[in-house]
Amino acid sequence: MRKIFGRLYYIVKKNMRSLLVFEIMYRTATFLLSGYCVQTAIDFSLKKQGFSYLTAENYTSFIFHPLSVVLALAVFLQILFFLLIEAGALITCFEASSNRQKVTPGDLLFGGLYRTFIMIRKNKAAWILAAGLPAPIMELHLIVREISYIKLLQFSAQQLYKAVPWHWVLFAVCGLLLAFSLLFIYILPGSFMTGGKLGKRVPEALKLFRKNAGKTVVGIAVINILVALIVGTVYLIAVIFVVLYSMLTKSTAMAAGAVLTYSRWLDIGLGLAAGAVELVLTLAFVFVIYEKAYPDSVSNWKKRILFPRHTSKGLKLRRRVAGVLTAVLLVSEGFYGVYVMIQSRQTAENIWNSVGITAHRGGALMAPENTVSALAYANDTLCDYAEIDVQETKDRVLVLLHDNSLKRTAGLKENIWNVTYPQVSKLDAGISFHKKFRGEKIPTLEEAINFSKGKLDLNIEIKYNGENKGIAKRVVREIEKNDFADHCVITSMNYDFLKQVKKANPDIRTGYIMTMTYGSIANVKYADFFSVKHTYVDEDFVAEAHACGKEVHAWTVNYRGDVKRMINCGVDNIITDNPVLVRKVLDQESDTRTGFWELMKYALRI
């Protein structure tokens, strides 16, 4: 194994400079192009399906629509095509290094394009297998990081995790997928270095894996651990630099926002770097084993692939052209990257605007949720709003309750629509929280309004459970009866409820609750503001909402770093279980520390 890694080190180091320039250029270009294509595909599918915005509620119908499936496959093929070109370029580099030859970044690009063209011409659609089968094991780090910070992929992974009750099954499937991918890890070197059709290369690759199974498994494991250590170390060093830079160049109030801004860009950059390093080392490893098994495949590389029948003059001209194109691409990508960072940078240097505070579920940190005691806590902590959840009983009485079932908060294993109010009124909503709240009742909406009058405004979320289609109009009537329209907002995940509210009383402000965000919000006319899960809030969404004259409320924000990020994004209201913490951050009290270690925690999200 030591000899294999020694040889790997040599073939990577021999053309390290060209390899580094090529990877930076190629990864950046393909990342930007792929991102643009993904965004265009999603926008096009949304438009054709009649959705103005992608939310958790329309996610399933959107994602499984035939058009979405076709576009997803097209994007997947594009990514595989880019991977194939990159792999061809890397194999070209390793062959040159093996023959003690120097190559330029332009040579690598031309080599990758030429070899990809030959493979597709000889194998037609089978090239998809050549790129797709080893892709999971070769790009494991990139796949994991992409899922972690691309909102749509992240949400899809979360939905899949929730949909499968036996989580071990998901982990087992992922393990089997990686193991299956590992079997075909020698396909690309064989296909590129010996040519011919994949029908011959696949048995050859499987045979080579069987002979070197132990070395391959250990080698790939070592490489993945090494990549994780390298990326983790570089990330930690970069975060320390970012924290120190922010402390030296930003005010105390703005330092945390700046750290959160720059650390997001570090995440993206290191995600690309992790994918590049893993692919380079993995392909170099399998190349070393392949060249040892088939030494003749490397000996005539220059005549056969990279420079077929070129004169010395023509070769110099091509290299000059390639060098100019490489320089132009690098400069263009650099300027574009700076432009994007400036355009999308969070407004950490701006004066913090006045941000409202809403106590989640009435004030569920210090009192039982959705109770009068919780509302009292929200009032005592000077909240602007208390958010409450409204459902209705079997006899159509509006009560405060988050879950469909009464089991969690009141100990009764019954759904709210199967229970009458006299039954609900006898339940204890406080004992499950703390014994000092024994006897706390589940209040009606009218009781909550009467308590809040003159003290506290309410964010009234209407829950949809399939059994309460007329609830929106009854909530409006209750508000009007108690003359509370100017002191409340109505929110819901069900957009039809908001439409019913606006038709019943256009003066009541409404908010559309969204667990994810994507698309255009210009046509969401029955919502005056958007209530969005904080992990999906960014400065672009806030700017678009404000441009449409709508506010953004972020939920549920309970950590100091997240509070500061929301403030720097420009949100109008923060919904939290900990209003005291949010108030301290807003007021920049002494408890809100912004020293070195505190900023490190923000950057590392711990």
Which listed residue (402, 434, 487, 546) is catalytic?
402
Structural tokens at position 182: 């590992």
Q: What is the dihedral of CA 193, 195, 201, 204, to 10 degrees?
A: -50
With CA atoms as reference, report the closest residue to 189 among 307, 116, 87: 87
Per the DSSP assignment, residues forming a β-bridge with 573 are: 356, 553
562 contacts: CB under 8 Å, gap ≥ 6: 534
Calpha distance 453→460 (Å, rounded): 14
With CA atoms as reference, report the closest residue to 273 among 231, 236, 315: 231
Q: 385-392 and 398-400: which strand pairing?
A: antiparallel
Q: How far is CA 370 from CA 12, 278, 427, 497, 501, in A?
A: 62, 50, 14, 21, 22
- The one-character DSSP state at 302 is I
Calpha distance 406→369 (Å, rounded): 12
Instruction: Report which residue type is found at 24.
Output: I
Structural tokens at position 539: 């400065």
Structural tokens at position 379: 């009032």
Structural tokens at position 562: 């997240």
Calpha distance 260→248 (Å, rounded): 15
Which listed residue (65, 167, 360, 487) is catalytic?
360
What angle, 0 to 180 degrees and rounded to 10, lies between the N-to-C axes of helices 151-163 and 140-149? 90
Calpha distance 402→44 (Å, rounded): 36
Calpha distance 464→468 (Å, rounded): 7
Q: 551-555 and 518-519: which strand pairing?
A: unpaired
Decide if 534 is catalytic. Answer: no
R_g of the chain computed on alpha carbons? 29
Calpha distance 67→62 (Å, rounded): 9
Burial class (CB in 10 A: 0-12, 13-18, 19+), 291: buried
Chain centroid, CA 416 distance in Å: 35
162 contacts: CB under 8 Å, gap ≥ 6: none
Q: Kindly state the greatest CA–CA separation across the chain.
A: 95
With CA atoms as reference, report the closest residue to 563 among 574, 550, 548: 574
- Cβ–Cβ < 8 Å for 490, 509: yes
Active site residues: 360, 402
